[in-house]
Amino acid sequence: MPLHEVPEFHDKTQVYQDRQHAGQVLAGLLQSYRGGDALVLAVPTRGIPIAAPLAQSLGLPLDVAVVSKITFPWNPEAGYGAVAFDGTVNLHQGLIDDMGLIEPEISKGIRLTRETVEDLAKLLRGERPFPDLNGRTVLLVDEGIASSITMETAIEALKRIGARSIIVAVATGYETSLQRLAREVDEVYCPNVRGGWGYEVAQAYRRWAEVTDSEAARIIAEFTA
């Protein structure tokens, strides 16, 4: 499936001023969806400041698809799986085997991550029912793709609930991971495709910081007001 990029951004770092700028650049690649019936779904929390200006520019509704990594007990930054908003669980068995994780650790990790997803979904969405995706096109937005397991889990969940077409739109991505994702969805848009060793999402931005849950909730509330 097609992978769309901005050629002059290929293998470059610090191509975006910040996440809002990244959303505007992505929107420029997605003009064919302007004013249509697609739904923009942001992957929280870092995808929300990108998805909001993108959705505004394209005149599309915005919502969230909450997914969270299942992290190693000794390293909260690294994950061996993910849990999605609908309960979908995706595990990287190779990493589990390599790191010697045992079943009780895995079960605990899934349970804690599921609780995190439920709490964040409630904060960001309140009691609103999840949109009906049956027969609908979804633009799935995040700030970047490294290992891709979080995005793969989101894609699996959206397919399960009936999305007709899934378009992945990310500001930056590791080339191998993007090519793998492109086989699972209809199209992938990523202005800043990078390869080589030592890939980090944050390197695409001149200004990068964590996005707190409260900040993400504020952006969603302002957009939907």
- pLDDT at position 77 over 80: no
Amino acid 17: pLDDT: 98
Amino acid 76: pLDDT: 75
Amino acid 71: pLDDT: 86
Whether residues 60 and 8 share a domain: the answer is yes
Whether residues 137 and 196 share a domain: the answer is yes
pLDDT: which is higher, 127 or 154: 154
- Residues 102, 224: Cα–Cα separation, whole Å: 43
Please give the residue range of the domain that contains residue 96: 68-124
Whether residues 187 and 144 share a domain: the answer is yes
- pLDDT tens digits, one per residue of 117-149: 999 999 999 989 999 999 899 999 999 999 889
- pLDDT tens digits, one per residue of 207-221: 999 999 999 999 999
Whether residues 152 and 206 share a domain: the answer is yes
Q: Is 46 left (phi over 0), alpha (psi -120 to 50) or beta?
A: alpha
Whether residues 80 and 49 share a domain: the answer is no
Tokens of 162: 């009936």
**For residues 77 and 71, is the Cβ–Cβ distance under 8 A?**
yes
- pLDDT at position 41 over 70: yes
Whether residues 154 and 168 share a domain: the answer is yes
